[in-house]
Structure 1
Amino acid sequence: MMKKLFLAAQLLLGLGLTSCGQEDTPITHQRATTTERISLSVDFASEESNARAMTITSGGSDLEGKRDAWSDYDYMRYRFARKGASKAVFSQEATEPVTLVFYHGGNVYPVESQVKLQNVNGHYRGDIEAELPAALSGVTRSDIQVAGVLGATSVDATTGKVTVTAPPAIVEGEEMQTMPMYFQKTALRAGSTHLSGLRFQFLGVMVVVPVAVKQEWSTHPIEVSIANHVFTPDVFTFGPARFTESQVEVDLSQGGAPKLTRTSSSTYVHPLRKTEVISGDEPKVHILYVFPVRLEYPMPMRPTLYGQYYPKTVGRQYDQTRGKEFVIPRAPAPGVQEFEQGSRSIVYDMTVSFYNGNNGVGTFKGDNQKTDYSVFSGRDVGTKIPGRGWS
């Protein structure tokens, strides 16, 4: 398992803010046999950080529920009263693996190295030392370019493309494993063994999903009591349009922002951190770090959460043999073509307040045959109109 890291400084994930609610193989490397060495200095952020901060934060605070009249039904929704920049810092000074890819004359040379993280007056930076591949011995330094990836899963020694995998999801306040980052292709300096001015940037997008469970008074008969069940959200997806992926291949060869391509092992259905929630618990803010892939043309997002729910027995205990599958749907959001790398998406409306019948579909997580998921939502629409919980 990778060492647990946190991103240095107040990383401005919120700059490309996209709110999805109504608001808004082992690593293989080219072995270096030359003794020619270079050093790289890498920065991690544009602002100073609080060195004592130890957790990744969503950037949202004061999650509030509000019941509004909506068309011909009431709508219970939870929103952050305030939103700021997401923040994370490294847990400590450490030495971590980094994958470098050298480019020259149409050829690529992956090299395994390490980045030494340092906390300088509350600001994190890194130093990397590496040996040049033997094939580059004697080549003019300025004719060589280098790019780097922190948190790589593997690298193709022929193409130089690096595979990265999403870290496990967390609930806000917990530690997250390495959130893969990159620095773009940059030429080495002529006559120098040192290159500075590099900066690691996010490869992925942060997805923030507040999930609230609270039974509300309903204008319809309460056919399933939310208060008498335990809910365990399992997976989240933006829908089969595949806006986000769990694993991508990173091509840094063109310079600038890298091109991300989903791998055959990737999925758009993202596992959530396991939680058990009963009515009245504080909402859980789930945080995922996944990778955006540009679509050919804009598609509507369909944020959907799936899970299991069980009848309570005593206190918070429940009968695990009587679980049923549920879905929290949301009406399609306006079409988009991509998420920006380094952006943040806050997905609202993942609220369990009303039971809307056993008419949910599994289409949005690739289970096209199953149509009997129990639908829960923040919409007080009852169960009489099949599929109404989706509108």
Structure 2
Amino acid sequence: MKKLLLVVQLLLALTLTSCGNEDAPLTRQHASMMMTSGERIKLSVGFDNGEGSKARAMMVSSGLSDFIPQDEMGSDSYGSYPYLRWRPMRKETSKAVFTGEATEPVTLIFYHGSAAYPVAAQVKIKNVGGRYRGDIEAEIPAALSGVTRSSIEVAGVLGATSVNATTGKVTVSAPPAILEGEEMQNLPMYFPKTALSTSSDVISGIRFEFLGVLVLIPTYATNTTYAFTPEVFTFGPSRFSESEVEVDLSAGGAPKLTRTANSTYIHPLRETVMGGTMVKEKMHVLYVYPMDLGVITPVFPTIYGTYYPMVGNQYDKAQAKKFVIPRLSNINIQQFPQGGRAVVYDMSMIYFNGTNGNGFFIGDNSGTVYSVFSGRAVDFNRRRGW
């Protein structure tokens, strides 16, 4: 799969503190597109924020480094308890870096009045003085032939899986989760409505922005006789984030995102084994789509997975048990920001806090028993070990 050669900088957004398989091929866009007029335009687009960079493998860099474990004492209405925090000493800007100078499909949506006309096009990426630019050449839809250019607007989506030929709404899906240091599929992006020019066929100054939010989940497992496999992550049943959304760019500015019938708020993690005879640290990376809930709502970040007893250097899958790493909410928000990042700290498998966990946050009301692990030693009797 060809990948884009560019660097795009993610804005620092929200941090959630303690207080508080192989990648599938990129799915290409498919839909019935409009007939074109033969009138061509060229869009000059940007991806980075003005930074120079060198070409390298397509990676997501969290910007977090130099993690250290810190033992503290916490307290609640039941009394005090040991608490191990695992935090980075350095926090920098997150970046998404794509590789392979290429030509990639892009969906353009032309607007005139209340009508939308999607057109399939391509973006050609090039390096200009260390900065990454793209050129999109496209034909104006036949229905708009002869229409005054200044009354026509165009928007675009990179990474679409489908587009509605009538409404111009575009569907995008979240790429599979990775561990930091692994390659990630292209992160869907957009540029907002821009008016065509009456005096030129070239439109410049357009910039692609991220549609999703980058979720960074540093996890930590201490030296133990068990092996842990974190499997899914969720912000809770309030559905702060979705795996698939329909993108509506018709209003201009930031797009309206609507979850699809196929979407889920339970996000699979990259399969990995932690624990065992050595301490293991992992940075899980997700790119998902933020939802505006309309009201301020508490966030409940939670990991669910399976753990196994170790037999020598192997783990015994025949004795698998389910576990949960729950977190009390330390923030209340209405929406995670598009193009931002959310760092979810203290998702640790250190202290065992009993088997009173449940699957409420992933809709598992079947009575499945979940062992509770966290960085807090809050004993077996407190509510789900928080």
**Cα distance in structure 2, aligned partners of 1:242 and 1:12:** 22
Q: 1:167 aligns with which of 165, 170, 175?
A: 175
Secondary structure, in 3 states, of the residue corresponding to 1:35?
A: strand
Measured after TM superposition, the shift of residue 13 of structure 1 is 2.5
RMSD between aligned alpha carbons? 1.6
Q: CA deviation at 1:107?
A: 1.0
CA deviation map 1:324-359 (0-9, x unaligned): 110001112221100110111000010011111111
CA distance in 1, matches of 2:159, 2:93: 23
Q: Larger % of strand: which? A: 2
Distance in 1 (CA, whole Å) between partners of 2:321 and 2:378 is 21
Gaps of 5+ in 2: 21-26
* Superposed CA offset, 1:14-53 (max 9, x none): 1xx2111137896214233421111110001222132234
Which of 279, 289, 308 is the equivalent residue of 1:281?
279
The 1:169–1:266 alpha-carbon spacing in structure 2 relative to 1, beyond 3 Å, is same
Match of residue 319 from structure 2: 322
Cα separation, 1, equivalents of 2:19 and 2:176: 27
In the TM superposition, what are the counterparts of 1:161-200 in structure 2 within 5 Å? Answer: 161-200=169-208
Q: Which stretches of structure 1, 4 residues or more, deviate above 6 A after TM superposition? A: none
| Map of 1:218 onto structure 2 | none
Note closer, same or farther for the CA distance 1:141–1:358 as it changes in structure 2 (3 Å cut). same
* Residue equivalent to 1:49: 52
Contact 1:10-1:85 within 8 A present in 2 as well: no
Note if contact 2:230-2:304 (Cα within 8 Å) is conserved in structure 1: yes
SS in 1 for 2:95: coil
- 8 Å CA contact 1:142–1:187 kept in 2: the answer is yes
Task: Report what 2:24 is aligned to.
Answer: none
Asked if structure 1 preserves the Cα contact closer than 8 Å seen for 2:358 and 2:384, the reply is no
Question: Which amino acid in structure 1 is aligned with residue 316 of structure 2?
Answer: D
Change (3 A) 1:388 1:236: closer
Residue of structure 2 aligned with 1:234, choices 219, 231, 234:
231
**1:65-87 residue CA offsets vs partner (Å, 9 max, x unmatched):** 11101111000111111101001
1:100 aligns with 2:108: yes
SS at match of 2:61: coil
Aligned: 1:140 with 2:136: no
- 3-state DSSP of counterpart to 1:65: strand
Matched, 1:111 2:119: yes
Q: 1:281 to 1:5 in 2, by over 3 A?
A: farther
1:221 alignment counterpart: none
Corresponding residue of 1:58: 62
Give CA-to-partner distance per residue, 1:141-188, whole Å, 9 cap, x none. 111100000000111111111111000011001111010000000000
When structure 1 is superposed on structure 2, of 273-282 and 260-269 the one drifting more is 273-282
String of CA shifts for 1:365-388, please: whole Å, max 9, x gaps.
1112335101111111232x1535
Match of 1:250 among 207, 225, 247: 247
Residue 297 of structure 1 pairs with residue 318 of structure 2: no
Residue 373 (str. 1) matches residue 370 (str. 2): yes
Task: Answer with 319-328 or 108-117: which moved more.
Answer: 319-328
2:150 alignment partner, SS class? helix
Contact in 2 for aligned 1:28/1:154 (Cα 8 Å): yes
Match of 2:333 in 1: 336
Structure 2 distance, partners of 1:123, 1:23, is 40
1:150 aligns with 2:125: no
Q: What's 2:15 paired with?
A: 19
Matched, 1:67 2:71: yes
Match status 1:204 vs 2:204? no
Give, in angstroms, the shift of residue 133 of structure 1: 1.1
Instruction: Please say if residues 381 and 388 of structure 1, whose CA atoms lie closer than 8 Å, have aligned partners that are also in contact.
Output: no
Q: Specify the code of the residue in structure 1 equivalent to 2:169.
A: K
Distance 1:273 1:36, change over 3 A: same
Counting matched residue pairs gives 373
Aligned mate of 2:42, from 33, 39, 42: 39
Deviation at 1:320, TM superposition (A): 1.7
Q: Which secondary structure does the structure 2 equivalent of 1:142 belong to?
A: helix
State TM-score, norm by structure 1.
Answer: 0.92
In the alignment, the residues of structure 2 paired with residue 78 and residue 110 of structure 1 have an alpha-carbon distance, to the nearest angstrom, of: 47
SS in 1 for 2:147: coil
1:68-120 CA-to-partner distances (Å, cap 9, x unmatched) read 01111000111111101001222121100000000013211100111001112
CA contact (8 A) 1:325 1:373 kept: yes
Instruction: Say if 1:78 and 1:212, in contact at 8 Å, map to a contact too.
Output: yes
Q: Which amino acid aligns with 1:140?
A: T
Stretches of structure 1 lacking an aligned partner (at least 5 in a row): 216-226
What per-residue deviation string (whole Å, max 9, x for no partner) do you get for residues 261-301 of structure 1?
11111100000000011243331000000000100211100
SS at match of 1:135: helix
Question: For the residues of structure 2 that align with 1:12 and 1:164, how far apart are their CA atoms?
Answer: 19
- How big is the shift at 1:4? 4.1
